[in-house]
Structures are given as structure tokens and as C-alpha cells.
Amino acid sequence: MSKFDIKDFKGVIPAVLTVFDKNEEIDEKGMRELISYLIDKGVDGLYLTGSTGEGFTMSSEERKRVVEIVMDENKGRVPVVVHVGAIGTKLSIDLAKHAEEVGADGISSVPPFYWKFNENQIVKYYTEIANSCNLPMIVYNVPLVGLLGMNAIKRLAAIENVKGIKYTALSHYEITQIKDEVGEDFLVYSGADEMAVSGLLAGADGIIGSFYNIMPELFINIKKAVDAKDMDEATRLQKQAVEIIMHCLKLPSFYAGMKSILRWRGINAGYCRSPFENLSEAEEVEFRNSLKKLKETYNISGVDFLDEI
């Protein structure tokens, strides 16, 4: 049984990496280490088995196992939302029911993908999943599968159990528009790490992102600065975040880069699963040295992993 109301799912929420060992098997010990590290750093919730969690490289049973490990390690400390998106609605429903069984606080899903589905089919997909269990659902607007228009968002918001949207876009006037046209109680989460400040200023209830795995303290401080209306500080911190993110995105796989950074710090974040590439030893050395240079060039401070390099 879930512990939190979906309205508690606010603030700084990492889209959690999934920890695999070198043989690409789920590493339970590492998964537990990562979860406790993030919670101890002060994150406000956890978003599981999405794109950052390499969810689409796993079987349904593996995704369920990750959720079970996290729920056991979390022990009700923060709200947990499970991404249940899959290539077929039946698979998503199975994952949604499992999330409810193990006590998750909500579910989420990307729209149906690969084939080009029309608006009616997308609404049907979300309706069937939302009706399959009693958990509140967060729908997902992301460029990779095609952004939804305001008409589609309104239709989705009218579905019982749909309580919010994860909005990953590089323009944020839509967040204000959603709040105006759907209602203030409809939760909106900004999903672009590079634009956390913009999303919060536009009225987002929370920020969900990949890079919160490696520098949660930076985004927690961004939110504190926005809440305190200290825009000079919020802007300064966001610029630092952007420099780090853009640097990591130069890698063949920024997931591999994040996992390397966490391993350097003694947090067993494991390795990526194929077809994502891991960094070779030589590439890790080069990446580490480049991060040292980045820190010096932009005078970045207060980011734990850079302070420790």
C-alpha cells in the first residue's frame, strides 16, 4: 500500500539510474547503495525504470525486480513513482499492477512509441493503464516520442487517476498554460535538467532529471534559491549545471559518464547495458581530467563530485 499522496511528489526528484554489473545483470547491492546515497543527500522523491534507468533494455521481470529492491531500501522515506511505459499496453498494465502491489506511490509512462500513434490511440493507451490500478498516474511529454498538444493534454488530464504530467521540453510557457487551462491541482514536472530554474519559475511542482544522480546537491540548492527568490544565485547555479551537463553530453553515453563519476566517489553505480557503451579505462582517465579542467575554467564550487576530483 502506498504511503504518500501524489501531491507529496514534489521538489527535486532524480530519474534514477539502474545499476548493472559488468555482466549486465542487476546489481542489488549497488542499487541499494545508490538509493540510500540519493535519499541521504536530501532528494524529495524517486522516479524509477524510465529512460535514465535504461528501462527499455530490461525485461518486465527485471524492471519489477528493480522496483522491489528500491521499495525495500527506501522503506517509506520518500515518495516513489514507477515508470511503466512499454511497447504494448498489456505490458504496461502488468508493470502498473506490480507497482501498486509493492507499495509505490504512483506510476508514469511515456506515450506509446515506435509506430506513429494518433491522439485517440494515445489517450486510449493512458486510459487503459490508468484504469488498471488505483495508483495516480503522471503522463509524459517528451520530444523523443513527439510532444503532445494542449488539446491532448486536456483530454489526458480528464482521465480519472491522471494527476500530472512530466514535461520535458526546452520551452516552458506551456507549463503556465497547463496550470491555467487544466488547473493548479494538476501536477507539472519540468524534465529538462538544463532548464530547472525556468521550469520552477513557470510553476512546475517539481523537477525530474538524470543529472540529479551525480549532483543532487546542486539542484537542491537551485530550488532553494528559487524558493528564496534569489535569482542571482539560482542563475549562477544553473549556469554551472549547464556547463557540467553539456560536457557530459559529449560522451558516447552520458549514462556511462554518470556511472563512472559515482564509482569514483565509492558509490557502486555499476555499468550500462548494451547497446549503451561504457567508458574504457583510458576514456575514464581522459574524462576525469577534462572535468578537472572544466572546474578550473568555470570556477565551479559546491558540486561534491568535482570538489573530490
The identity of residue 81, as a single letter, is V
Phi-psi region of 300 (alpha: psi -120 to 50; beta: other; left: phi over 0): beta
The whole-number pLDDT of residue 218 equals 98
CB 199 within 8 A of CB 172: yes
Tell me whether the omega of the peptide bond preceding residue 275 falls within 30 degrees of 0, making it cis.
yes
The whole-number pLDDT of residue 213 equals 98
| 47 tagged catalytic | no
Paired sense of beta strands 46-48 and 11-14, if any: unpaired
**Among the options 140, 167, 212, 255, which is catalytic?**
140
Assess whether pLDDT exceeds 70 at residue 143: no
| 140 tagged catalytic | yes
Considering the domain 6-230 in this protein, what is its CATH number?
A: 3.20.20.70
Question: What average pLDDT does range 25-30 have in this prediction?
Answer: 98
Q: Please name which of 54, 56, 128, 59 lies closest in space to residue 96, comparing C-alpha atoms.
A: 128
For the chain, what is the mean pLDDT?
A: 95
Query: What distance in Å separates the CA atoms of residue 140 and residue 129, rounded to the nearest whole number?
Result: 13
CB 249 within 8 A of CB 239: no
In this predicted model, what pLDDT tens digit does every residue of 80-125 receive, in sequence order?
Answer: 999 999 999 999 999 999 999 999 999 999 999 888 899 999 999 9
The whole-number pLDDT of residue 46 equals 98
Q: Where are the domains of the chain?
A: 6-230
**Among the options 163, 166, 179, 223, which is catalytic?**
166
The mean-pLDDT minimum among 38-42, 72-76, 147-151, 177-181 falls in 147-151
Neighbours of 147 (CB within 10 A): 16
The whole-number pLDDT of residue 170 equals 80
* Widest pairwise Cα distance in the chain: 52
Task: Say what the pTM is.
Answer: 0.97
Neighbours of 75 (CB within 10 A): 11
In this predicted model, what pLDDT tens digit does every residue of 28-64 receive, in sequence order?
Answer: 999 999 999 999 999 999 999 999 999 999 999 999 9
